[in-house]
Amino acid sequence: MPEYTVRTDLAVEARELSLGGAEEIEGVSYNRTEVNGNIIHFMEVLDDGGAKQIGKPRGKYCTIEIDSLTERHSDGFEGAVNALSSEISKIIPLDRRDGCVLVVGLGNRDITPDAIGPLAAENTLVTRHLKEHLPEDFAAFAPVAVICPGVLGTSGIESASYIKSLCDNVAPSIVIVVDALAARSLDRLCRTVQITDTGITPGSGVGNNRCEITAETLGVPVVAVGVPTVVDIGTILADLNAGDANQLPKNMIVTPRNIDTEVVSAGRLVGYAVNLALHKGLTIEDVDLLVG
């Protein structure tokens, strides 16, 4: 009987699943640090062997565990934003930091667990047009454009096709995509942010794969930022040894009870972090004024 496949978009979880009793995986480098109370897992898939072992493409993956992610008013919000913005800055290629940045909020804002991308986009400063028309007044800002392409079911257009068309027209130096993810651990829901330079395949964590959004498909580097909001129910029941894993319910997912407030806070945090990563010298107080 085929073995049940655990679904997760998080590279750190894929590594944990692949380790077994080993201490490391050949072709995969890993480092764990703690910065201001936030645990940071940095992993790089170095070759095709490592990619095959953990089921993730070659590239860099940074996962930040932020307990205070959902608390906008908490003392930890500023530290969480700064930690996240710092890691986003590290993933952005050095030769791509002076050009236009296209920020894409993926997902369906009408489905609460899938609204991370659009909510992050709402909290991202749009400056490309200002830089073009008032360059001296906005010299300190990076040129940023923001879009929310929606989903295939509501637009009839694949997100990847929409973004590729804009890239051909706007010619950004880099694309940053923000999306909701699936995890295997309930403890990581809305408490974890993953950043990677490998791009993203929307819907892959819940078995609804769409076209890839990567450097290969768009022609420009892609940085993906994601927050896990759901766990496949089969993963939970398999962990609990609740019967034959292959007979578990299909197409069912679990999300936190207070997901509506969780995604609003997570979207704000990611949006603020993107702003600080792109506009050097900007503070959280500045973003509060400009976004509000």
Task: List pLDDT tens digits, range 166-192.
Answer: 999 999 999 999 999 999 988 899 999
Do residues 162 and 36 make contact, with C-beta atoms less than 8 angstroms apart? Answer: no
Pairing of strands 192-196, 59-65: antiparallel
- C-alpha to C-alpha distance for 216 and 279, rounded to whole angstroms: 27
Which pLDDT belongs to residue 234? 76
The mean pLDDT values, 10 residues at a time, for the chain of 292 residues are 67 90 87 89 95 93 80 71 94 84 94 96 95 87 93 82 93 96 92 95 58 92 96 77 58 87 94 95 92 76
Which pLDDT belongs to residue 205? 46
Domains of the chain: 11-291 (3.40.50.1450)
Task: List pLDDT tens digits, range 40-89.
Answer: 999 999 999 999 999 999 999 999 998 755 555 556 788 899 999 999 99
Residue type, 220: V
Pairing of strands 101-105, 144-147: parallel
Which pLDDT belongs to residue 252? 79
Q: Which of 187, 11, 173, 157 is nearest to 96 (CA)?
A: 173
pTM of the predicted protein model: 0.90
Which pLDDT belongs to residue 95? 75
